[in-house]
Amino acid sequence: MVVTAKDLRFNISMLFDVLSKKENIIITYRNKPKAKLIPYEENEFTENKENKLFGIWKDRESLTDVDSYVRELRRGREF
């Protein structure tokens, strides 16, 4: 579906209905495509997982998860 920026402003609820039907929406401004709205789909990357460390931190045995590491950083220094 192709809509104008004005349609986006005034008919947003109609556009949400279109998105709920898994259709893409192209938004035009002055007859030129400027943006594309796609329906949100949860997949393995967007699921809520445990806060495990990743990347270069995953090999550190002293850290168990992100929350404890950040808490340790924010604790501050004691003089």
pLDDT, tens digit, 9 for 90 and up, residues 43-67: 655 555 565 556 666 666 666 677 7
Concatenate the DSSP letters of all residues of 23-53 into one string: --EEEEETTEEEEEE------TTTS------
Handedness of CA 43, 46, 49, 53 (dihedral sign): positive
The reported pLDDT for the residue numbered 54 is 62
pLDDT, tens digit, 9 for 90 and up, residues 6-51: 988 999 999 999 999 999 999 999 999 999 999 988 765 555 556 5
HSE-up (13 A, CA, CB side) for residue 78: 2
Residue boundaries of the structural domains of the chain: 2-37, 49-79
